[in-house]
Amino acid sequence: MNPVWTIAGKLEPVPALSRLDLVAEPVAKALKDLPDADRVAVAEIDPSLADTAEFCAHYGSPLGASANCVVVAGKRGGELRYAACMVLATTRADVNGVVRRRLDARKASFAPMDDAVSLTGMEYGGITPVGLPSAWPILVAPEVAEQPELVIGSGIRGSKLLIPGDVLAKLPGAEVLTDLARVLDQ
């Protein structure tokens, strides 16, 4: 049974497994192995509207139902450690506090775009936790895990995944991390 997506706005979601051509290669591989793949949909979008604010405004999907995947690099003693953070679009990840401590790093920051793209095999602006390198922890804000429906990246800028928060929280390597997200200043 395919879920009904109340957050879809003008999107036309279809079961993700039926349109693997709309996702990046590592995402397609991960979806094939995902136990809850039947609860994930994909919708084609204009790639020039992939950035969250523009996407939500154009397609009528609520900003509060969009979650962003942020790739973070932590460094300790010359060793780089990567993680992905899933936070609602209305919040920001606490990179220098919660994430840095979780990575046991002296310093943490957003990974450079070229590194994030080459290490994930995904397009910048479309990076998603589905299909990330298996060694990376996926840090999920509780607010994300609790959402019945979310819009996230698909690995490319030309589509979005629609997924329940509990499916994200059960991805391999996922950890729901209290205080990961901070509300954006208005």
Record the pTM: 0.94
Q: 50 by DSSP, 3-state: which?
A: coil
Residue ranges per domain, the chain?
A: 14-183
Asked if CATH classification 3.90.960.10 holds for the domain at 14-183, the reply, yes or no, is: yes
Q: Per-residue confidence of the chain (186 residues) as pLDDT tens digits?
A: 567 899 999 999 999 999 999 999 999 999 999 999 999 999 999 999 999 999 999 999 999 999 999 999 999 888 899 999 999 999 999 999 999 999 999 999 999 999 999 999 999 999 999 999 999 999 999 999 999 999 999 999 999 999 999 999 999 999 999 999 988 764
Q: What is the full DSSP assignment across 117-174?
A: HHHHTS-TT---STT--TTS-EEE-HHHHT-S-EEEE-SSTTEEEEE-HHHHHTSTTE
Q: State residue 15 phi and psi, 5-degree precision.
A: -55, 130
**Which residue, chain included where needed, has tokens 């973070």?**
72
Q: What is the full DSSP assignment across 30-41?
A: HHHH-TTGGG-E
